[in-house]
A and B are shown apart, each in its own frame.
Chain A
Amino acid sequence: MNPLPPDWQNTFNAYNAALTRRQFFRQTGSGLGVAALSALLGQRALGAVAAPNASAAATLTTAMTEPWKIAPKAKRAIYISLIGAPSQLDLFDYKPALQGRFKEDLKGWLAGQGERLTGMTANQAAFPLAPTTFKFAQHGQGGMWLSELLPNIAKMADDLCFIRSMKTDAINHEPANQLVYTGSMQNGKASMGSWLSYGLGTLNKDLPSFVVLHAKHTSPFSNVQAISSRLWGSGYLEGRHAGVSFRSQGEPVLYLNDAPGIPRELRRKMLDGLGELNRRSYEQIGDPEIQTRTQQYELAFRMQTSVPELADMSGESPATYELYGEEARTRGSFASSALMARRLVERGVRFVQIFHRGWDQHGSLPRDIASQSKDVDRACYGLVQDLKQRGMLDETLVIWGGEFGRTVYSQGALTETNYGRDHHPRCFTIWMAGGGVKGGVVHGETDEMSYNIVKDPVHVRDLHATILHLLGIDHERLSFKFQGLDQRLTGVVPASVVKAILA
């Protein structure tokens, strides 16, 4: 086919920008949430170089007005996901009165609770009450009771906001994790991080807006749950919003490293040649997808520089390692992941999720939870304090939690020193810090058994509404039409922002 006449070509060029935007709009029913994207694309199309620091780019995106946008308290978030469900009874939810009721059989009491037990304990002959074997002490100005398992986290009690009244609908790991991280127990939904990427766009166009880190657990005994990429997938949202895993071994991002035998200078030349050929076919055909393709190759090329720079921690000071602990020098450790999370948000990544598995203590809980806690305690402290020292904590929301709670009765045999705990959906504890939440606060309360919530229940969807609120999103307005429905992270059952914990 012959090239188009010049006047047609101009019309094409003018039209293409509009068309690309239109294609985005077509993806969504309400037209909400796409403005950030189209602005980003426009920005890319202009060939703008990477913003040298995140704040310049931030001005760009926050200046836009979308109907779902509200004043943000935080610009970014780090979610520390303890997969397996850490025991609230041994870490946060202090029940001293239980100490005198060791081994009391709760069988009759449980029957009155109307709760289905999991297949793992439903057939136990007895349900012996297992008080924690760990000591609790008061911390911070508010005299918050915290367990000896997390001595460093306890040191910063005044920075933390505990919700002791979390509850969920699921009793098994898979559906519970899906509910916490995608807002639904059904498959095919978009993860929390992908919603944030979709709604807020990116602050650094050389990096993904949602990054996932997988931290190693050190205990050889831990009961390690499997997790699926659907927890950070984009579901019905476009693939660009899916979490990108930064790997702790091999290349940090899949296929990031050039194939062997390709020196960098050649890579650039090859890319230029490719761009040249694509440009010519664009001139002939006028399909805007060709231009977008070229931009994606350029972005990939920039990621080849920005990601290794990120992964290279050699410039971190001894003081930093002092904060996070020496394990932060070991790639893939929780401490190293926490430090990486700080580096990521510092460079404008919107949402970082650290998965740390191994918190499913059905048996040998005292031994295993101690080792799990040791993995994360120091580095959690380091992360929050590091953010604080850098003046970033105010605009960074840190969330720490699992997918449900654990039972007050022992799974399997109970001895003076050993016990296990089964899954418990009716209450669990999480904490948050920074980004618009009050510090030194405990929200919600459970009964004497840490079994039922007696005050201020917070459903998982309320937590989602609150997280979105803090990041400047009205959870009812950020939606995407799919399967005939305006899909939202918080779904169709009403959810509310937990106002009491907002700073």
Chain B
Amino acid sequence: MIRQEDAIIVGGGIHGCSTALHLCLAGLKPVLIEKDYAGRHASGVNAGGVRQLARDVAEIPLSIRSMGIWETIGDLVDDDCGFESHGQVLVAETDAELDACRARVADLNAQGFNHEELIDGTELRRLVPAVAESCPGGVVSRRDGAAQPARTTTAFRRKAEQLGAILREGVAATNVRKEQGLWHVDVGAETFAAPVLVNAAGAWAGRIAAQLGEPVPVETIAPMLMITSPVAHFIDPVVILRGRKLSFKQFPNGTVLIGGGHLATPDQDRNETVLDWRKLSESARTVAELFEVMRSATITRAWAGIEARMRDDIPVFGPSALHEGLYHQFGFSAHGFQLGPGAGAVMAELIVHGGTQTRIGGLSIERFRNTTPSATA
């Protein structure tokens, strides 16, 4: 038996769940299909950075839209998602890096974006007292912060379900096809049909896009993170580096999360990753150099979540260039968590109204037309 609904969303990450929730709010009934469980991969195990800072200009409008939702996220999902806003700070380690920061902020200002603010060494040390004396300054985005990723994704999932979304977890979407003007997807013994199909399948989205005739240059990556045992409070904002791969954040319970983009080896078919400890060692070295106090902290766990990275490091977001009723929402390239709430809202606008006031043109799949995929996931 074929069950017809308003929209089929493939992928139960923060993006799929957010789009499901916003479609429900718009009065539609979506079905969300997740092969594992909501938040199993990148959305549940990322660093939780809620960051407008240091984004590609093409993503900034979506990021700003999202930030507004984050600041009142409890109203949307009945859970504060552990969101705390203590700002995010990008640290320049050299004068040359600070010069690059200055140019970047000037460029953003010229384009009308004011969320990034250049700071000198004094302000840097006021915000991040423990940072090495040698750092000359950086950039702050004061409204930024961090949230708890698994809790957030779970909250979106829960609220979407409460508002009427149909959830299918633990079963993969297969045999995606268009018949008689409707998208059809098999889910175990069931078949769902809908005029709208949203491809929000993260690391698995490239395969779906390719199957539907829209191959894109995407690869599967697994950014590694590690966390320490609790230490006394010593830092408020999230810290990232301009030059080296590092992100750094202390949670209210005292644990310190260390990330920054070093990659594990993903095994997509096994849902597994093999950590690269030599790269994690590099992260540890960077932390030890930048924050001397961290040297005696103990690392209690390390992990990596599987996700998709586009060749140009910005997501594929918006309608298909080929098919009516197909929408893409993937390839967030290790920085999609903050975008999740806003992207769901904008995606719902695209689906319901056929357009949005949020500028997303630079994220269209159109940009890959006539390019050969460098890698397909």
- Whether A associates with B in a native complex is no
Residues of A at the B interface (CB closer than 8 Å) are none
